[in-house]
């Protein structure tokens, strides 16, 4: 009995590919930052102290919109629009923001957003390739911070973010590759 090596190669390849999720695409999105992770960003944020931290000290902590990027420079008007709401009396604002409103043109703000997310397609290669089922896992973190300065001193800061992003997205198409064919054909005939 003679073995046909082509059949063996095809069978082994099919067995290998049937469960091989490493062939699925993946993507990574990262807003470049000086921080390794959310905790690092939070620790450096905590080191910026209103009434004490100067602009150069803030920049040395990694919150420099020119050197590190991913930061916005806010004018006095931008800061006002961000924090002053029509239904909240100005007296309720923190003291540092009141100081900013009084200083007007001497007030400047910096808004930062740093994030790192990783998206992996997981599951069965064939189900994904033929559009029957696509599974995506999203993991990562995001950190946002706003600093308000009058002259050269930090007067107010606020932050928020998501330290541990974990999302699972599952899309099922019972008709597989034919699922969007009706819309595609109607688009072609209506042109």
3-state DSSP call for residue 174? coil
* 47-65: average pLDDT: 95
pLDDT tens-place string over residues 8-21: 566 656 555 555 54
For 17, other C-beta atoms within 10 Å of its C-beta total 12
State which H helix or E strand residue 47 sits in.
helix 38-47
Task: Say if 128 falls within a structural domain.
Answer: yes
158 located within any domain: yes
131 DSSP 8-state letter: T
**Could you tell me if residue 8 is inside a domain?**
no
- Quote the tokens at residue 14: 């099919």
Contact (CB, 8 A) for 146 and 109: yes
In a domain, 16, yes or no: no
pLDDT tens figures, 84-140: 988 888 888 999 999 999 999 999 999 999 988 887 777 777 666 666 777 788 888
Whether residue 124 is contained in a domain is answered as yes
**CA–CA dist 106, 110 (Å, integer):** 14
The structure tokens listed for 127 are 């189900």
């Amino acid at each position: 009995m003679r073995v046909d090596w082509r059949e063996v190669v095809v069978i082994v390849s099919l067995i290998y590919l049937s469960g091989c999720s490493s062939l699925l695409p993946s993507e990574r999105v990262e807003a470049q930052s000086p921080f390794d992770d959310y905790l690092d960003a939070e620790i450096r944020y905590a080191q910026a102290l209103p009434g004490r931290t100067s602009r150069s000290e803030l920049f040395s902590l990694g919150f420099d919109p020119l050197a590190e990027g991913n930061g916005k420079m806010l004018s006095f008007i931008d800061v006002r629009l961000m924090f002053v709401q029509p239904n909240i009396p100005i007296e309720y604002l923190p003291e540092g923001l009141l100081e900013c409103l009084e200083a007007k043109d001497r007030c400047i703000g910096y808004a930062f957003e740093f994030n790192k997310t990783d998206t992996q397609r997981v599951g069965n290669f064939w189900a994904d390739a033929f559009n029957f089922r696509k599974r995506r896992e999203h993991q990562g973190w995001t950190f946002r911070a706003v600093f308000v300065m009058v002259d050269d001193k930090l007067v107010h800061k606020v932050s928020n973010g998501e330290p541990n992003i974990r999302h699972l997205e599952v899309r099922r198409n019972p008709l597989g590759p034919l699922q969007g064919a009706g819309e595609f054909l109607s688009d072609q005939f209506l042109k």
